[in-house]
Amino acid sequence: MNDRERSHKFYYDRKAKGLCTQCGKPVTDGMTTCKECRLKKSERRCKDDRTREYRRNYTTKKKAEGLCIYCGTRKAREGKVACEECGKKQAEKAKETRKRLHEMGLCECGEKLIGQEKTCPVCKARKADATAKWLERMNDEQYEQHLQNMRANGKARRDRWREEHRCITCGHKIPDEDTHKTCPLCREKARNKAHLRYKPVKKEFGICARCDKKVYKNSKLCKEHYDIACAQAEYARQFNKAWEGYNKILFAKKKVEE
């Protein structure tokens, strides 16, 4: 019997005997708790409400003054509610909490995760909505600066994960014998995403798989994307010279065996 089951048994045993489920004193008014325990609970609730109201007013005041809502003394960063030092502390604290929950197989909201995912579908949708609203408030200059920061941070993160032999997409550890840069799950997702580009409907009506233009000759692409694909293939061929030699040796052995 775990603690939760033991607590439930303790609660229902006292309730069946007509005792207060909190302190164990007899109850005569048909309630599950005595008058004293109900009064204590009401006082705690009022105290919590006053604390929340005070914190809400304090936060609103510090925001209006342009100060950090945590320390209340240093100036908050531009577009943020915390100063540089408190922002780093809160970010590190949140990171440790997410890591601990992820090790337990839980999302930051407490929901159980599926597979190697780091967040549940509900939290993903909530974060996507918040990000969309945040981007709408930006002007063109801020948005361009945001894109540059994202590209720089993404490149630095991928370089760090590559050195640690982690998947450059999700960050999960890759086995030492695996020479790929991504994990099997991310490779499967990428294959499925690439497969969706070449929809059978577009092929049936002779439409380019990457845009809505007519296909070029008997290919699946228009003239523009056909030239891009040819250039990419030509670039990739320069790295496949070794395979040509291996194939010649392999096919030569097969002819000898035949």
What is the SS3 assignment for 169-229? Answer: CCCCECCCCCCCCCCHHHHHHHHHHHHHHCCHHHHHCCECCCCCCECCCCCCCCHHHHHHH
Q: What is the pLDDT of residue 256?
A: 45
pTM of the complete model: 0.43
In this structure, the answer to whether residues 3 and 57 fall within a common structural domain is yes
Domain end position, chosen among 50, 65, 80: 65
Tell me the per-residue pLDDT of 8-67, one tens digit each, with 9 for 90 and over: 778 878 888 888 888 888 887 778 888 888 888 877 777 777 777 888 888 888 888 889
Residue 223 domain-assigned (yes or no)? yes
In this structure, the answer to whether residues 185 and 206 fall within a common structural domain is no
Residue 163 domain-assigned (yes or no)? yes
The mean pLDDT of 94-101, rounded to a whole number, is 84
Whether residue 33 contacts residue 21, with contact meaning beta carbons closer than 8 Å, is answered with yes
In this structure, the answer to whether residues 249 and 216 fall within a common structural domain is yes
Tell me the per-residue pLDDT of 184-210, one tens digit each, with 9 for 90 and over: 888 888 877 766 655 665 666 778 877
Residue 76 domain-assigned (yes or no)? no
How many domains, in total, are found in the chain? Answer: 3
Tell me the per-residue pLDDT of 232-243, one tens digit each, with 9 for 90 and over: 888 777 766 555
In this structure, the answer to whether residues 57 and 5 fall within a common structural domain is yes
The set of residues, in sequence order, having a beta carbon less than 8 Å from that of 63 and lying 6+ positions away, is: 69, 76, 81
Domain range for 210:
198-257
Domain end position, chosen among 152, 172, 197: 197
Domain end position, chosen among 48, 65, 82: 65
Residue 183 domain-assigned (yes or no)? yes
In this structure, the answer to whether residues 182 and 240 fall within a common structural domain is no
